[in-house]
Structure 1
Amino acid sequence: MRIAVLADIHGNVLALDAVLEDLARRGGAELTVNLGDSVSGPLWPRETFERLEALNLPTVRGNHDRRVAVDPADETMWASDVYAQERLNEAQRRVLCAQPLTLEIAPGIVAFHARPDHDEKYLLDAIVDGQLVRAPLAAIRRRLKALDPACRIALCGHSHRLELVRIPDGPVIFNPGSIGCPAYDDSTPPAHVSEQGSPHARYGIVTLGGEGRPDRFETIAVDYDHEAAARQAEQAGRSEWAHALRTGFMPG
């Protein structure tokens, strides 16, 4: 069984389409899961929502999905959330908010956006000198306490950083990286950035072994018209997003 893992699209429908086309060229997957943060960003939130709605994928709620649903907008919403909210109708926002925090997509395989008990706290990451890096194993273990002990593969996003971690005597945790937002900054103390280091759209494929064969985890980086996405961000007044989309790094 092949499972395609999509995460952190952030309204970048061009990157999403490129990933879906690449997946089709590779023979597709029996199951495709969306790990949330689908529409928030100064790009194409409505178009992305409609594309995903047509696909009807099993999907978990990201922190930005929850924030976009806040109506009216309040001080907790970042500019990208407001941009998306203004372009979605009430029914679409309700759909985003109603998505589950966690979802068992196959026996022993659990999907969530950030942590199994929280949609906004990092699972595999620590903040060091303003950058996201891998957290110590002991910290990751503590953060997994809410995870079902029967879980053998956990799929997560949120940090936009590719990670594959096998917990000794525990699950494999797989973060495929971000499809639509290759870098971001977060001013929430302690302020930090996440940078994938290239503009590619990233996703993953998990091939379940079965009958004694090992599971296989693939990470895929897909080129697409990131310049068009950067121009869209510039038109929305978000030069830092444009820089991230072009380079995979934050300015400065």
Structure 2
Amino acid sequence: MRIAVLADIHGNLLALDAVLDDLKHRGGADITVNLGDCVSGPLWPRETMERLQALNLPTVRGNHDRRVAQDPDDETMWPSDRYAQERLTGLQREALLALPLTLEVLPGVVAFHARPDHDEKYLADAITDGRLVRAPLAAIRRRLKSLDPACGIVLCGHSHRAELIRIPGGPVIFNPGSIGCPAYDDDTPPAHVSEQGTPHARYGIVELGEQGRPDRFEAIAVDYDHEAAARQAEQAGRPEWAHALRTGFMPD
């Protein structure tokens, strides 16, 4: 059994198509799961949503999926969410809001965007000197308390940082990294950045063996026309996005 794991597409249709093509060349997957944050960003939100709706993948709701669907008169809406909201149909926004917070992909394999009980708080990360780093094991354990003890594999995104962590006596946590947004800054206190360090589109593959036990985890980085994506961000008035798409880092 092969599970392809997609996360944090953020409206980057070019990156998504490159990942889907790479997956096809690798023989495909039995199940492809989408971990949310589908369209938010100054790129191709409506086109990305249309592609995802045609694929009809098992999908969980990300924090930006929820925010894109919020009241359009809310003045606190973040620019990337507003850009996407203005380009989606009402039915598409409703579809994002209706996505589940968690999803059991297979027995013992649970998917969610950030944490099992929250779509916007980090699971495996802490903030140190304005950057995301791996959180202490004790903190990760606490954040998984609401999870069924029978869960053996956790699939999550949100941080845009590829991670593979085996919790002693607990599940394996796998975050494939972000398909469409290789770096971002967040001014929510404490302000911080996340940087993948290259412009590649990231996704993952999990191979299960006997009794659903994980045999292999693969974090994959795929090259694509990130320059075209950067130009699209520039046309939308988001030079910091363009820099992130070109480099995998936020501007100094």
Partner of 1:23: 23
CA-based RMSD: 1.0
Give the C-alpha shift of residue 209 in structure 1.
1.4
For the 8 Å contact 1:182–1:249, the answer to whether it is kept is yes
Give the direction of change, closer, same or farther, for the CA distance of 1:87–1:64 in structure 2 (3 Å limit).
same
Query: Equivalent residue for 2:163?
Result: 163
Aligned mates of 1:181, 1:126 — CA distance in 2: 20
Which residue of the partner structure matches residue 144 of structure 2?
144
1:127-166 deviations in Å (ceiling 9; x for gaps): 0000000000000000001111111000000000000000
1:201 maps to what in 2? 201
2: CA distance, partners of 1:77 / 1:157: 21
3-state SS, counterpart of residue 87 of structure 1 = coil
**Poorly superposed stretches of 4+, deviation over 3 Å:** 211-214
Q: Secondary structure at the match of 2:4?
A: strand
In structure 2, what is the equivalent of residue 185 of structure 1? 185
The corresponding residue for 1:99 is 99
Greater shift, 203-212 or 225-234, is seen at: 203-212
Determine helix, strand or coil for the equivalent of 2:61.
Answer: coil
Matches within 5 A, 1:227-242: 227-242=227-242
Alignment map for 1:1-252 (pairs within 5 Å): 1-210=1-210, 214-252=214-252
Superposition deviation, residue 211 in structure 1: 5.6
Structure 2: which amino acid aligns with 1:105? V
Distance 1:103 1:238, change over 3 A: same
For structure 2, the residue ranges without an aligned partner over 5 or more in a row are none
What TM-score results when the alignment is normalised by the length of structure 2?
A: 0.98
In structure 1, distance between residues paired with 2:15 and 2:205: 17
Q: CA deviation at 1:103?
A: 0.2
Shifted more, 176-185 versus 209-218: the winner is 209-218
SS of the counterpart of 1:51? helix
Deviates further, 203-212 or 14-23: 203-212
The letter of the residue matching 1:63 is N
- Give CA-to-partner distance per residue, 1:221-247, whole Å, 9 cap, x none: 000000000000000000000000000
- How many residue pairs get aligned? The number is 252
Q: 1:176-215 CA deviation, whole Å, 9 max, x = no partner?
A: 0000000000000000000000000000000001169752
Counterpart code for 1:27: G
Cα separation, 2, equivalents of 1:110 and 1:180: 23
Identity of aligned residues (%): 84
Residue 210 of structure 2 aligns to a residue whose secondary structure is coil
More off after superposition, 203-212 vs 131-140: 203-212
SS in 2 for 1:240: helix
- Check the 8 A contact 1:67/1:76 in 2, yes or no: no
SS at match of 1:215: strand
Q: Pick closer, same or farther for the CA change 1:190–1:214 going to 2, 3 Å.
A: closer
SS at match of 1:48: helix
Q: Specify whether residues 204 and 73 from structure 1 end up closer, same or farther in structure 2 by C-alpha distance, changes over 3 A only.
A: farther
SS, match of residue 198 in structure 2 = coil
Counterpart Cα distance in 2 of 1:128 and 1:220: 26
Q: 1:227 to 1:124 in 2, by over 3 A?
A: same
